[in-house]
Amino acid sequence: MALFDDFLVRAALAGIGVALAAAPMGCFVVWRRMAYFGDATAHAAILGVALALALDIPVFGGAVAVALVMALTVSSLSGRGYSMDTLLGVLAHSALAFGLVAVSFLTDVRIDLMAYLFGDILAVSRGDLAVIWGGAVLVLALLLWRWQPLLTATLSPDLAYAGGLDPRREQLVLTLALALVVAVAIKVVGVLLIAAMLLVPAATARPFARTPERMALLAVGVAVASVLAGLWASLKFDTPTGPSIVCAAALMFLFVLLLRGIRQPA
């Protein structure tokens, strides 16, 4: 067990666990153009954290529950008179505001709000590591189990109906997986940066992928590299670790954009 006494090893393992869960899920977020959906679900998680601390239940459980409720609420309200981006914008920022207000009432509980907003990967414990990897395995199991139906429903709901699939059920699977990703990523990058970990690796991998499976694998590679590069930069330059990880991912995306511009001159 001495290996797990090294906080850097624990931090790296936690980041890799989040990368394994977030990157494939991020591909579906990109394909379905659900960026705001991920944002709203992530922002709602801070309310879940506050409720979990108030009720003295595990933070992971509270975050999953509230993120899932938010995701289901968004799905049920879509198409009822408001555009999806307007609805998601209202719900995302409202959920974050209510969560921050709820945290302010927890006078008997010591809470490092910045750790939940921007992550605190260097403080990951063995218990946190077990939760992160347990959640990541659940997400991967869900995606592997429903991979082909999810792809079909993403490509064309009509095609899914013709094949005997229910697109709403596949949407529910994605909703559950997204809630799990949000819950496991809170400790690593925080609720404000979870959407970036979903989107940026998938967007970086997209130009190099000829198949959905290849894109998911490349996105995992980008996410893992971002975690390791961000950890290194954080230690070397004494910068916040969660934001440093996202910055590393963003720089990879920028490099890909520049590379494509050089290869395909106007």
* pLDDT greater than 80 at residue 215: yes
254 located within any domain: no
Query: Long-range contacts: 86-92, Cβ < 8 Å, 24+?
Result: 88/36, 88/37, 88/39, 88/40, 89/36, 91/40, 91/44, 92/36, 92/39, 92/40, 92/43, 92/44
239 located within any domain: no
251 located within any domain: no
Question: For the chain, how many helices (H) and strands (E)?
Answer: 12, 0
252 located within any domain: no
Q: Which residue has the tokens 């509230």?
A: 66
Mean pLDDT of 162-170: 86
Mean pLDDT of 112-130: 87
Instruction: Encode burial over 109-123: b for 16+ CB neighbours within 10 A, e otherwise.
Output: eeeebebbbbbbbbe
Count of structural domains within the chain: 1
User: Quick one: pLDDT at residue 55?
Assistant: 85
6 located within any domain: yes
User: Quick one: pLDDT at residue 164?
Assistant: 86
237 located within any domain: no
CATH of the domain at 130: 1.10.3470.10
Query: What is the Cα–Cα distance from 235 to 233, expressed in whole angstroms?
Result: 5
What's the one-letter identity of residue 2? Answer: A
User: Quick one: pLDDT at residue 81?
Assistant: 61
Instruction: Encode burial over 176-208: b for 16+ CB neighbours within 10 A, e otherwise.
Output: bbbbbbbbbbbbbbbbbbbbbbbbbbbbbbbee
215 located within any domain: no
137 located within any domain: yes
More confident residue, 71 or 241: 241
* CB-based contact 171:227 (threshold 8 Å): no
Query: What is the Cα–Cα distance from 255 to 88, expressed in whole angstroms?
Result: 30
Confidence of residue 53 (pLDDT cuts 50, 70, 90): confident
Average of per-residue pLDDT values in the chain: 87
Tell me the residue range of the domain where 180 lies: 2-191
